Amino acid sequence: MSKTIFSTWRDEFVDNRYLSGNTCQVSSFKLPRDYSVDKKSKAFIGWDGVAIFDEDVDVVRLACEYAAQYQKYSEACGRCAPGRWGGRILYDLLDKIARGEGSQADIEHLKEVSETMMITSKCEIGRTTPKPILDLIEHYREEFDILIEKQIPSKDYTNEDINYIAKVTAPCMDMCPAHVDIPAYIEGVRDMQFDKSLQSTRQTMPLAHTCGRVCPHPCEDACRRANLDEPISIMELKRIGADFETDHSLPWQHPKEPQPFRNDGKKVAIIGAGPAGLTAAYYLALEGIKVDIFEELPVLGGEVAVGVPEYRMPIEKYNKDIQLVTSMEAVDVYTNTRVDAAKLKELDSEYDATLLAFGTRLSKKVRAENERLDMEGYWGAIAMLDKVNLWHKYRIGSPVSEDLKDKVVVCVGGGFTSMDVVRCAVREGAKKVIMLYRRDEKTIIRNTTYEEYHEAVEEGVEFIFHSAVERIFDEDNKLKKLLINRFELVPSPQGGRAELVKIEGGDFEIECDYLIPAVSQSADLTLLPKEWDIELTSWGTLQTNGKDYMTSRPGLFAAGDCEYGPMTIVNAVGQAKRAASVISRYIYSGTISLNDDEIMEDHLRELNVYDKNEKITGWMQEQPREQSKKLSVAQRVDNNKEVNLGFSGEEALAEAQRCMRCYYISMAVV
């Protein structure tokens, strides 16, 4: 790995140009010193500073190319005066110096225009682009001066072997597993061009209705607005564009004109029509590549369809997301088609690539004594939610109220699935619903969302924290009661994470009719042919390198929960989008590759774009986050009406107005 010669990244100052050996300073950031396995970076420049890894780098051209990248970005924007013209002038002046025609007055003009850009630009990209350029002018002034003095071009001015690879990002985009262009879709709302907003979302996220409703929005933890007051309500703003398309019956708002169906014999099989499978199918089909999706259930949508309840994710809306995918000419779906080992072998030989996206649909046990799957009243969360959802959404099967009405239901969990279980149990008329959780309230909120927990409490779910089931009692194989242990958190003497210690004599019993374990799920791996000897993770999912999503078997890919373990929809979307991109090249070239954009994406994620300590200027504080309206408890508790009514128009516009458009440009020199 090359060392850092110079760095001004995020207010650090490393300058090893005149130092040697062990007096050298090191950068404390995970800067992309190695661009890829076979390519080293010479320099990295971005919103937060500049780092030089190779002393031969032509810094004047570096500054000039960075300005050029801004200029390129600005050509995709150009929506404020300072950015539109400032960027052009910045580039023109730097290029003038780099080609050997500059003057000292140009440097002064550069500084002047930079200052106005940094204070007055509309988005962070205009405000931050001058920073590393000014850093270079300050610390490498002699290299600029010499070109001006001698009127000669910079040393690499015409060198075409050097690659300047740029990527635009934002803290929220970087944190989002699907890297959704969040500032763009928020800008679409702000501009009241809701169709454009949706097109922006769909660049990397086809499930706009879904992730505008049930995403745990990790992006909001990386929202710079939080440094000022409160994060933007990013997730709910996504829904505005999706609802606009649906409400006005618009034609599908694709992020780009779909490529004509290639019909060239190449085809991809996808196992599972959940978020991962649908996403991969959509992006492959956008490129015109043939996709066949095989789904075991009679319905499409995977866990979001049969797991996430109607009151959180109305099927009518999810179906819009699904129809977006199935409307593509290149996509065919086969429901009620379980893929077993024999079938998988068949697909593997018939198709040019196969993506496994079958999720994790086996409920794990709570690990109590006398825990038996065949005990009446013992009901895995996945099976229970399947039954609830198949009935309410598709009228398949029978109502769960026949099982749960006036019953006492205990759920063991702490994640989203367990919340769905208890809230559905309430709606199915259970007399009493108890959630047992090993840890505390704070953790359950962190694992789910504040809203989710709060709404469950409002609906009458009783939460018992620091508790676990020790033993299940039955009579004639019918579940009767549970023995519960209580725990307390004892701070670790080493100062690490507090430990759960059982409280002696704290045990108690709960008489109940149902125990629904919702502690976690695992992948059903029986479809993998033994002889393939597919590599697995230690937690029983398919092993990939987390970048190209190919399993240990060439041509066999995996994305979503079956790769990662039970995780979020947005995680599945992000993985599947990447996998689709890799597959789209693999089926033609037979090799696995990432494009520059993807490589940069991974580098930035490693570096972490969001800086929670950054001080924000240029915006008014105390502009509170908008809260959407929810149905009251009485209006929602006995039915499946969508609880969250979403933003009203004025709320959406006010919230979009809060977004600071924290776009940044980064660029690696290779």
Partner 1 sequence: MYAMLLYIDGGGVVMVKKSDMAQYVNITIDGKNCIGKQGDTILQIARANDVYIPTLCYLSKVKPIASCRMCLVEIQGSEGVVLSCQERAVEGTVITTDSKMLYKHRQNIMKLFGVNHPLECGVCDKSGECDLQNKTLEFDVATQNFCAKESDKKVENWGFISYDPSLCIVCEKCVRICNEIVGESILEVAVGGYKSRIINTNKEADCSNCGECMAVCPVGALTNSEFKYSSNAWELERIPATCVHCSSGCPLYYEVKPSSTANREESIYRVTNPFEFSSLCGAGRFAYDFANKDAKKDKEAFTRALKAFEGAKSIRFSANITNEEALILQKLKEKKGYKLICDEARNYQKFLAAYSMVSGKSLYSGDLATLKDSDAIIIFGTRINDDNPMVKYHISMASKWHRARVAYLHPMEDVSMSKIVTQFIKYEVGSEEGVVALLANAFLSDLRLSDAVKEYLESLDVGNLSAESNVGEEELEGLVNSFEKKNTFSFVIGADLYAHPRAQEIAKVLALFEKYLDCNVILTPPASNALGVALICNLDDEDVNEQSIGYNVKGDFTLGSLGEVDLDMPALNQQEGTLTTIDKRVVATHVALPFGGYVLNDIANALGLETEYTIDYTKELPKRSGYKAVEFDTLNHEFSKEGNDIRGYLLETKDVKIDEIFEEIEELPAYDGGVVYWCNEGIHFTYNTLYKYPASKYLKGSKQFAVAMKISDGEELIFENEKRQYRRIFKLDETMKGTIAITSSVTEPLEVSSFKNYRYTLMKLQEDGVIR
Which listed residue (19, 26, 81, 501) binds partner 1 by CB under 8 A? 81
Contact between 257 and partner 1 (CB under 8 A)?
Answer: no
Which residue has tokens 């019953």?
407
Nearer to partner 1, 247 or 257 (CB): 247
Residues in region 630-669 near partner 1 by CB under 8 A: 645, 647-650, 652-654, 657
* 410 part of the interface to partner 1, by CB under 8 A: no
* 545 and 526 Cβ atoms separated by less than 8 Å: no
DSSP code, position 227: G
Interface with partner 1 by CB under 8 A: which range of 56-64, 171-179, 248-256, 336-344? Answer: 248-256
Dist. CA 657–CA 232, nearest whole Å: 10
| Phi, psi of 126, deg, nearest 5 | -70, -30
Verify binding: residue 222, partner 1, rule CB under 8 A.
no
Across the chain, which distance is largest between two alpha carbons, in Å?
97
CA atoms of 568 and 583, how far apart (whole Å)? 22
Of 188-196, 206-214, 487-495, 590-598, the segment contacting partner 1 by CB under 8 A is 188-196
Asked if residue 568 binds partner 1 (CB under 8 A), the reply is no
What is the spatial distance between Cα 18 and Cα 299, in angstroms, rounded to a whole number? 67
**Which of 116, 163, 327, 543: binder of partner 1 (CB under 8 A)?**
116
State the CB neighbour count (10 A cutoff) for residue 415.
Answer: 18
Pick the closer one to partner 1 by CB: 208 or 573. 208
Instruction: Kindly state the DSSP code that residue 454 receives in the 8-state scheme.
Output: H
Candidate list 4, 8, 27, 74; residue touching partner 1; CB under 8 A: 74
Count H helices and E strands in the chain, helices first: 25, 25
Shortest distance (Å) from residue 48 CB to partner 1: 17
Helix (H) or strand (E) holding 108: helix 104-120
Q: Where are the alpha helices (DSSP H) in 459-568?
A: 561-564
**CA–CA separation, 180 vs 201, rounded Å?**
6
Which residues are registered as beta bridge partners of 469? Answer: 484
Q: How far apart are CA 215 and CA 237, in angstroms?
A: 12
Is 86 among the residues that bind partner 1 (CB under 8 A)? yes
Please state whether beta strands 290-294 and 267-271 pair in parallel, antiparallel, or not at all (unpaired). parallel
> Rounded to whole angstroms, how far apart are CA atoms 606 and 612?
16
227 near partner 1, rule: CB under 8 A: no
**Burial profile 347-365: b = 16 or more Cβ within 10 angstroms, e = fewer:** bbeebbbbbbbbbbbbbbe
Can residue 146 be called a binding residue for partner 1 (CB under 8 A)? Answer: no
Quick one: which of 257, 349, 334, 342 has its CA closest to 295? Answer: 334
Q: Does 621 bind partner 1 (CB under 8 A)?
A: yes
- Smaller CB distance to partner 1: residue 119 or 373? 119
The gap between the terminal CA atoms of the chain, to the nearest Å, is 14
Q: For residues 343 and 347, what is the distance between their CA atoms, to the nearest angstrom?
A: 6
Of 240 and 519, which has the nearer Cβ to partner 1?
Answer: 240
Is residue 271 classed as helix, strand or coil in its secondary structure? strand
Judged by CB under 8 A, the residue of 11, 138, 191, 533 near partner 1 is 191
Question: Strand, coil or helix: what is 394?
Answer: helix
Among residues 478, 545, 541, 560, the alpha carbon closest in space to that of 515 is found at 478
| Nearest distance from C-beta of residue 653 to partner 1, angstroms | 6
Give the binding range for partner 1 (CB under 8 A) out of 52-60, 287-295, 479-487, 621-629.
621-629
Instruction: Rank residues 620 and 634 by Cβ distance to partner 1 and give the closer one.
Output: 620
Nearer residue to partner 1 within complex by CB, 303 or 626: 626
User: Is there binding between residue 10 and partner 1 (CB under 8 A)?
Assistant: no
Please, what is the Cα angle at 153 between 152 and 154, to 5 degrees?
120
Residue 514, strand partner residues = 409
Residue 550 near partner 1 by CB under 8 A: no
Compute the least distance from the CB of residue 13 to partner 1, in Å. 21
Binding residues for partner 1, rule CB under 8 A, total 55
**Contact with partner 1 (CB under 8 A): which of 247, 374, 476, 504?**
247
Q: Which amino acid is at 514?
A: Y
Shortest gap between Cβ of 474 and partner 1 (angstroms)?
45
Q: Is 449 in the site for partner 1 (CB under 8 A)?
A: no
Among residues 316, 129, 296, 115, which one has the least CA distance to residue 209? 316
Please tell me the distance from the alpha carbon of residue 365 to that of residue 357, in angstroms, as a whole number: 23
| Listed ranges 7-15, 109-117, 402-410, 537-545: which one lies at the site for partner 1 (CB under 8 A) | 109-117
In the list 24, 152, 250, 501, the residue contacting partner 1 (rule: CB under 8 A) is: 250
Q: What are the tokens at 399? A: 């109502």
User: Taking CB under 8 A as the rule, does residue 139 contact partner 1?
Assistant: no
Among 10, 88, 96, 343, contact with partner 1 (rule: CB under 8 A): 88
Looking at 29-37, 414-422, 477-485, 622-630, which segment touches partner 1 (CB under 8 A)?
622-630
- What is the per-residue binding string for partner 1 in 287-326, x denoting contact by CB under 8 A? ----------------------------------------
State residue 373 phi and psi, 5-degree precision: -60, -25
**Token duo for residue 353:** 């690539």
CB of 118 to partner 1, least distance (A): 9
Return d(Cα 575, Cα 665) in angstroms, integer.
Answer: 23
Determine which residue in the list 237, 240, 285, 419 makes contact with partner 1, applying CB under 8 A: 240
Q: Could you say which of 7, 69, 121, 449 contacts partner 1 (CB under 8 A)?
A: 121
Q: Does 396 bind partner 1 (CB under 8 A)?
A: no
State the minimum distance, in angstroms, from the CB of residue 120 to partner 1. 4
The smaller minimum CB distance to partner 1, of residues 126 and 566, is found at 126
Residue (8 or 114) nearer to partner 1, CB: 114
Interacting residues toward partner 1 by CB under 8 A: 71, 74-82, 84-89, 92, 109, 112-113, 115-116, 119-122, 190-193, 195, 240, 243, 247-250, 615, 617-623, 629, 645, 647-650, 652-654, 657
